[in-house]
Structures are given as C-alpha cells and as structure tokens.
C-alpha cells in the first residue's frame, strides 16, 4: 500500500492484506467492544465526516485496524463493512495487519531519491530479508516506504516510529536500526 520501491529492487508483487473470509461462528460482535474502542466510536457518532477520523484514531490507539474493530465501526456507525474496507484500502496510511515493534519508513520522495534512497531501501530489503510492507519474523521491524516527510533538506531520510533520521546512507540506516531497543545493539 505504498508506492513502488524502484524496479531494480524488485521485491515481487505486493500483496494487499485482506480480511479473512468470514466463517459463521455465531455473532462475532455479541460482546460489547472494548471500552477504548467504544469511546472513540461514540465520540464521533452522528458526525457525517467522522469515518476516516475514527479509523485514524483506532489505528493510533491499537496500531492497526483489525477485522473485529472494523466490524464494530460498521455496526455502530451504521456504514456497510464494504464501504469501510474500501476506504481503508484506499489510503496508504492504514494497516490491516499488526506492524512490528518498530515501523521503519524509508522516504522515497524526490529529494531522497536524488540522494540515493533507493540504495537504502535495497540494502534494507537485502539485510532484513523482507519486502516492503512486511515484518521481520521476530516481529521487530516493519519495512515501509513513505512519499516524503517534509525533511527533504536532510535527504535521505528514514523515519522510525515518531523519530526522523536525516542524512542517511545504507550503512548509517543499518546502524540506526541495530541501535533500536529490542535488537542486537541494545545494551539493556
């Protein structure tokens, strides 16, 4: 759900995450939604422009948009699930599967491209042995691309979680990732 990494780094066709086929196991929503979810939903009930805001808030809170959560949103805001799924899959920012501990976003904007961000991405794909929008088997890192975070003067840029790292090279990016908590470079 992000744009093409660049042909040389062909990571294979991108799989769109899908909702699992629904096998009937009784009413999946018989239980009330968790309080945090119902709080978000009820705060925006009745707002005709509220859907995307609700989805954004849920993702911020839970890290991704799970099937049950989307079903609760559909039921409680009165939208067809298909409409919600349509919205979720349209926007790059939404995730349907849980991301790893750290979300690593390699900027693929123009300034970063001119400063070699394709090399960074290629290198991370090779070293982490995962493709874009995939998570390492240990659940530590999810590799993503982003189309510019507005720190173009410091290209090439890599964003990890809410931290922006400027003036990156492939080596520097790998060092940065190794130093993240929960990894090899972690002393604690």
Partner 1 sequence: MRPATLRVGMSTCGLAAGAGAAHRALTREIALRELPLRLEGTGCLGACHREPLVEVLDGAGAVLYGPITEEAVGPLLDHLSGAGAPVPEDRVVSRRGDRSDYPFLGRQQKLTTQLCGVIDPHSLDAYLAHGGYEALRQARRTPPEQVVEAVKASRLRGRGGAGFPTGAKWEISRAQRRRPKYVVCNADEGDPGAFMDRTLIEGDPHRVIEGMLIGAWATGATGAYVYIRAEYPLAVAALQEAIGQARELGVVGRDVFGTGTPFEIVVKEGAGAFVCGEETALMRSIEGHRGMPTMRPPYPSEHGLWGHPTTINNVETFAAVPSIMLEGPGWFAAMGTERCGGTKAFALAGAIERSGLVEVPMGMTLREMVYEIGGGCRGGRAFKAVQLGGPSGGCVPAGLLDTRIDYEDLRATGAIMGSGGMVVADETNCMVDLARFFLAFTQDESCGKCVPCRVGARKMLDLLTAATQGRAAPGDLRRLESLCRTVEAASLCGLGQTAPNPVRTTLRYFPEEYAAHMEERRCPAGVCPMSGGQEAA
Give the separation between CA 167 and CA 156, rounded to whole angstroms. 5
List the one residue from 148, 172, 176, 183 that touches ligand FES (CB under 6 A). Answer: 148
Q: Please state the length of the chain.
A: 188
For ligand FES, the nearest residue by Cβ is 109
Residue from 88, 107, 124, 132 in contact with ligand FES (CB under 6 A): 107
| Eight-state DSSP code of residue 15 | P
Cβ-contact 118, 156 below 8 angstroms: no
Min dist CB 102 to partner 1, Å, is: 16
Shortest Cβ distance from residue 132 to partner 1 (Å)? 11
Residue 57 Cα distances to 41, 93, 99, angstroms: 9, 12, 16
Helix (H, G, I), strand (E, B) or coil at 123: helix
Picked from ligand FES, partner 1, none, the partner binding residue 72 (CB below 5 to 8 A depending on kind) is: none
Among 112, 124, 141, 177, binds ligand FES (CB under 6 A): 112
> What is the distance of C-alpha 100 from the center of its chain?
9
By the rule CB under 8 A, 93 interacts with partner 1 = yes
Is residue 114 within the footprint of partner 1 (CB under 8 A)?
yes
Chain contacts with ligand FES (rule: CB under 6 A): 107, 109-112, 148-152, 155, 157
């Amino acid at each position: 759900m992000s744009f093409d990494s660049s042909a040389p780094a062909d990571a294979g066709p991108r799989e769109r995450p899908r909702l699992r086929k629904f096998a009937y196991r009784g009413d999946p929503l018989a239980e009330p939604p968790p309080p945090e979810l119902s709080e978000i939903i009820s705060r925006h009930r009745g707002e005709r422009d509220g859907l995307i805001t609700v989805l954004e808030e849920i993702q911020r809170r839970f890290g991704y948009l799970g099937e049950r959560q989307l079903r609760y949103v559909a039921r409680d805001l009165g939208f067809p699930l298909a409409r919600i799924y349509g919205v979720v899959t349209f926007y790059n920012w939404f995730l349907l599967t849980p991301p790893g501990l750290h979300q690593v976003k390699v900027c693929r904007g123009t300034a970063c491209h001119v400063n070699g961000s394709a090399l960074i991405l290629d290198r991370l794909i090779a070293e982490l042995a995962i493709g874009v929008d995939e998570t390492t088997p240990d659940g530590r890192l999810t590799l993503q691309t982003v189309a510019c975070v507005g720190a173009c003067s410091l290209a090439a840029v890599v964003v990890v979680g809410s931290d922006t790292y400027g003036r990156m090279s492939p080596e520097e990016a790998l060092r940065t990732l190794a130093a993240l908590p929960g990894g090899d470079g972690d002393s604690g």
